[in-house]
Copies of this chain bind each other. A is one copy, B any other.
């Protein structure tokens, strides 16, 4: 059926048609249609919404995300018909039925994901099926390659290329801000694509954005890395492994992170940037994504096996994941903490030590440092000021101010200090509660929002001594965070439990 396009600024992959026209096309709300831009010959699939009054018969409302692909002009003519059922749905059904998917089947699904040919519900069915009927290593390899091949890739002429990744879930894990400059300062190349927080208080991209723009194309990332040895950008803008981001969004409501999917997701990004040597940080702990060291080792073996298949040398670090890394949580607070270490501070020890350990592994793998001497070399690179110098080059090439100092950065001006309600030892820092609190305070959107811990696990505090400060950029957000903190109690002091019975849950 021929319809006249009317552009509608609604941010989804749908089209709106009069219910009568929908009936004639033979579709209902939510069904898939194929739309042809008659001027260009470009065809795209989109999902149907219907109206009885908002649009007259003969017209079609083209929503913004649909038109990003269709590129139709207002009033132009489009041909609309009921879309064929994508073959990907049969493959998803196959996975539901417990069968293994072939390379071709996985590629068909991932191509449809990248093209937005699958509805959120259809993609969710794929994710759920892969979560329950976990993929074998062949399937993981196919998925990884499919995610790489449906996006951009970097192709460096000189090697080796280094990369690192931390499995998420641990607040304050800002080590990339230190590892990337150390590696680049050693003369190796490290084009680091990173994520924004979805459930966290700040992804590496959210942090780096405090210092410089992070939106770059894959080609720009390559150029910057060739010039200064490294970059820290938001992966979502590079179109590297774009299917992965779409998958992660759909996993979000269920808080799932299917093993095979996660391994493929991480390694696709490393493979696509052309990495030869990859260090993977696997934090383990009761409140981390990986609960036990055994589980961590198994995951490490899977990463290494997939690396072998892709000809990437992978080494994994099992790290302590039950407590934040450093004391700062939230973009600006974390950047201040990382910059201070580059400027010469060697505390917090948890941050300094972890960063040089991870960077050191890459230095050893590349042959820059002898075995067991990598961390020492990484520490030296910081102490000599080389890492700071390199970080400033990276900030500059990304368009930030290379003269930035830690004291130039101001966190949110609305602050609330939480004091110890009793004297005793800090017995628990709850990752999830700390993240939730930082998010309520505004992180990662409000860069100055977050939490600064004054006492870490195992340290002794006196009643009335500050245990943490909440920072916010807006006063109402601070109030909400204070209220939430009263319930969540993210930092537990030994004696504190006594104060909670029965009603008094104030912090003192």
Contacts and interface: CB of A to CB of B under 8 A. Distances in A.
Interface string A120-138: 1111110111011100000
A26 B474 CA distance: 13
B85 A253 contact: yes
A339 interface: no
Contacts of A98: 132
A449 to B, nearest CB: 12
Interface stretch (A89-97, A104-112, A149-157, A343-351): A89-97
Interface residues of A, number: 44
A11 B29 contact: yes
B10 A51 contact: yes
A29 B12 contact: yes
A298 B167 CA distance: 46
Nearest to A123: B121
A53 B51 CA distance: 20
B250 A121 contact: yes
Interface string A1-36: 000000011111000100100010010011000000
Contacts of A255: 93
A254 B131 contact: no
Contacts of A286: none
A19 B29 contact: no
B51 A253 contact: no
Interface string A24-66: 0010011000000000000000000111111000000000100
A253 B11 contact: no
A10 B132 contact: no
B11 A93 contact: no
Contacts of A93: 254-256
Contact of A131 (B51, B64, B96, B123): B96
A123 B256 CA distance: 16
A406 interface: no
A445 interface: yes
A65 to B, nearest CB: 9
A11 B51 contact: yes
A119 interface: yes
B54 A9 contact: yes
B445 A254 contact: no
A253 B117 CA distance: 13
B132 A49 contact: no
A118 to B, nearest CB: 9
A139 B254 CA distance: 21
Contact of A120 (B8, B64, B121, B133): B121
A295 to B, nearest CB: 15
Interface string A454-465: 000000000000
A91 B50 CA distance: 32
Contacts of A85: 253
Contact of A129 (B11, B122, B132): B132
A75 B484 CA distance: 34
Contacts of A12: 29-30, 49
B254 A96 contact: yes
User: What 5 A-B pairs have minimum CB-CB distances, sorted nearest first?
Assistant: A121-B124, A120-B121, A128-B128, A9-B54, A9-B53
Given A119-B120, A128-B128, 12 more contacts: A9-B53, A10-B50, A11-B51, A23-B445, A26-B445, A30-B249, A92-B254, A121-B250, A121-B253, A124-B124, A128-B129, A128-B132
25 contacts: A9-B52, A9-B54, A10-B49, A10-B54, A11-B51, A12-B29, A12-B49, A51-B64, A92-B254, A93-B255, A93-B256, A96-B254, A96-B256, A98-B132, A119-B121, A120-B121, A121-B123, A121-B124, A122-B124, A124-B125, A125-B125, A125-B127, A128-B129, A128-B132, A132-B133
